[in-house]
Amino acid sequence: MTAPSDAPLPLRPGETLLWEGAPVPGFHQRRLTFFLMLFGLPFLIVGVALFFYSLLLYPQAASLPDGGNALVTMAFSLPFAAFGGFLTLGPIIEARATARDIRYVLTTRAAYVIRQGRFPVVRVYPILPSTALELEYGSRAGTVWVHSRRERDSDGDLGTTKAGFENIAEAEKVFLIIRDLQGKTE
């Protein structure tokens, strides 16, 4: 089910809104994020430096092989710069986009995860007595998992896929509301 970002949530008859929110902006796994950013920084610097160095050498090439070497070096530098840019700038872009494009809604029957932006989608997770409910505390925000499924990956390894309200400020409150709902649903 997809919906544009300004469309109202399609609630079923008798379903009422209990809570709505969004992820807390910023980095939530700070140590891992900063480690990856620091790890990617040398790749970014070397890739960009090699690109501009070969860009400066190309017009000064005295022969065709020298020009070809400059072009090969330029092409060689692009994956390094892209990888470094992904590791260095990617977490910043993701932190901003996640807080802006994801909305969470809890009703008397289901948990809705609404992703807006380029590819809008609404995911619905019914609240049942058998719903796998988990509260995970974080340093700045908590996560309430409302869906858990064990599945095999492409290598055949068994893993758990979780979905829910990630990095929300009112995690404990939402967890208690859902737990109360589980007792009332049939």
Between strands 142-152 and 158-168, the pairing is antiparallel
Beta bridge partners of 158: 152
Choice among 94-98, 116-120, 133-137, 143-147 with the minimum mean pLDDT: 94-98
Asked whether the beta carbons of 131 and 163 are under 8 A apart, the reply is: no
Write out the two tokens for 34. Answer: 């900063």
Reply yes or no on whether the pLDDT at 3 is more than 70: no
Predicted local distance difference test score (pLDDT) of residue 6? 54
State pLDDT tens for residues 127-169: 888 888 888 888 778 888 888 777 877 887 887 778 888 888 8
Query: What is the band of 82 on the pLDDT scale with cuts at 50, 70, 90?
Result: very high
State pLDDT tens for residues 24-56: 877 656 677 788 888 999 999 999 999 998 888
Question: Higher pLDDT residue, 124 or 7?
Answer: 124
Give CA 18 to chain center in angstroms: 25
Question: Higher pLDDT residue, 161 or 72?
Answer: 72
Measured in degrees and rounded to the nearest 5, phi and psi for residue 134 equal -145, 140
Tokens 């109202």 belong to which residue? 8
Between strands 102-107 and 17-21, the pairing is antiparallel
Whole-prediction pTM: 0.65
